[in-house]
Amino acid sequence: MAEKKHKPKGQELLNVIEQQYMKDKVPPFRVGDTLDVGVHIREGGTERTQVFRGVCIARKGGGNRENFTVRRIVQGEGVERIFPLHSPNVESIKVVRRGKVRRAKLHYLRQRKGRATRVQEDLGARPEDRQETDSE
């Protein structure tokens, strides 16, 4: 007898559809890391990439719906942007500096001013760093 081909249903179907829109290469980063996020911007007829550099203060969601929040200080005012991780408008994510934090969300940085907003640098090796060197 010929076997029937399995058709995905429900959540399985959603996962199959979402998989098509996910990015293949997303650099490993954590909350507390300083990131350069290249954002695709359209102004009138021109298109360009603008870099938004700041500290990742939160990651939320999973799969295709994952978001991350980046905070920076511009002219003494705190600016936060929430980026969908797999958005086509996010062209690049580069880890500039690794932060050493003990929290999953760094919303407490909103109340801090000046040098108190800095995150200690993590100089130790991370497991994801070892994976990158193995593949090269």
Average pLDDT over residues 21-37: 92
User: Looking at the predicted structure, is the pLDDT value of residue 8 above 90?
Assistant: no
Domain boundaries, the chain: 20-111
Rounded Cα gap, residues 80 and 57, in angstroms: 9
Compare 134 and 93 and report the one with higher pLDDT.
93
Which top CATH class is 20-111?
A: mainly beta
User: Looking at the predicted structure, is the pLDDT value of residue 81 above 80?
Assistant: yes
Tell me if 76 sits within 8 A of 93, measured CB to CB.
Answer: no
Rounded Cα gap, residues 18 and 12, in angstroms: 10
33, two tokens:
């890391």
Looking at residue 37, what is its pLDDT?
96
Tell me if 96 sits within 8 A of 38, measured CB to CB.
Answer: no
DSSP class of residue 76 equals: T
pTM comes to 0.81
